[in-house]
Copies of this chain bind each other. A is one copy, B any other.
């Protein structure tokens, strides 16, 4: 720890920051100062990036500003070998977006957000009849005649789960619903948000069309707006059954996103150098990019705060035997381009074990392992170390995470510190993903569990963790 006075240090930091970049930044406190203020370093990192940068969509100027911020802050925290590793990627950005139900009832606006890779409706928008499907499965089973020329609506309210396991199931409506609708000849598709809240904040997220399939306009309605559509749909059906006019439910839709072609994104990497240069490193990951609607506090500033704080605390205690490599990945949200770029550059290096934090800021409740059999003793040690924090040991192998996915697929051992995700999909990819949603007490537990785990892993022998 530096031992100069606070004001002098702040002045020095500020001056250095001004020299380093045209961007400005508020003075950066030390971990000890933060602790004295009752704040956790992990919390401060989240506050810092969400306040000074805000939303940081992949391969945009905002994500580039986040990398400048990241390099400065990681250096200020005392990490070594801090660097950007850039790459290019196809880039889609949001335009104007408006939707209304325009008949048979009084016209009403709906809260909507385009999905990543949505086509544009053109500046004049489109109008069409709604084709209702209760679920992705119902859409997939439908004959083309029910879809052709219509605006498909996929209902299906996501249910919350502690481990987030519903995302794969309900998420199909977003991941591939637009592709299925496009193949059947739909004019456009609007889905109920893949989310568990009832606020008028739509959940965006990426969708993908198969090669050769022409993209169609694709967007998500907030849950209350989807409810409204369903009520109007049911009333239109009741009118039909009562012998009233055959007036189908109709929607106007305007989406003007644009494809910007290949743009630059990048990973930011930092290290705590280990005392044994021959020992393979522990890699810990999160992602620096966020969706554009919120400030990406839980997705995934929190993950970056958690892993960097844990690495800092381990470093403050003593130099670890193994190098700890911090990967703040770029461009996760839109296709894990950062994780792939990391693997392309570093996949052949040996990694002792990989961990990722990308599921919000709530407490860790379970630990899962994917380690070689010979590593059972260290798994037991880690599991024992996190027991006092209320963390239980799972019976399934660890999954890893998006940004370390290629490493894990290639055989790198992994540990999951599973976070409570019961309320994660209330906020995920919405304007509501902001700092105020994070409970500092839960986040502190999370950082503590990470610190305990990382301290053991980074100081493990080669016999314990080959």
Contact = CB atoms under 8 A, between A and B. Distances in A.
A97 interface: no
A431 B198 CA distance: 11
A106 interface: yes
Contact of A14 (B51, B55, B244): B244
Contacts of A437: 198
A106 B65 contact: yes
Contacts of A53: 105-106, 108
A interface, how many residues as a size bin?
35 or more
A87 to B, nearest CB: 22
Copies of this protein in the assembly total 2
A244 B7 contact: no
A335 interface: no
Contacts of A71: none
Contacts of A54: 106, 108, 228
Nearest to A199: B199
B247 A432 contact: no
Interface stretch (A18-26, A130-138, A179-187, A371-379): A18-26
A410 interface: no
A104 B53 CA distance: 11
Interface stretch (A231-239, A308-316, A380-388): A231-239
A244 B24 contact: yes
Contacts of A10: 242-243
Nearest to A293: B200
Contacts of A348: none
A411 interface: no
Contacts of A24: 104-105, 239, 244-245, 247
A434 B224 CA distance: 7
Contacts of A159: none
A398 B18 CA distance: 62
A7 B243 CA distance: 9
B108 A11 contact: no
Contacts of A52: 105-106, 232, 235
A51 B432 contact: no
A201 B222 CA distance: 13
A244 B432 contact: no
26 contacts: A7-B242, A13-B242, A18-B244, A24-B104, A24-B239, A24-B245, A26-B239, A50-B228, A51-B228, A52-B105, A52-B106, A52-B232, A52-B235, A53-B105, A54-B108, A54-B228, A55-B108, A55-B109, A62-B106, A108-B295, A111-B431, A198-B437, A199-B199, A199-B201, A201-B201, A224-B435
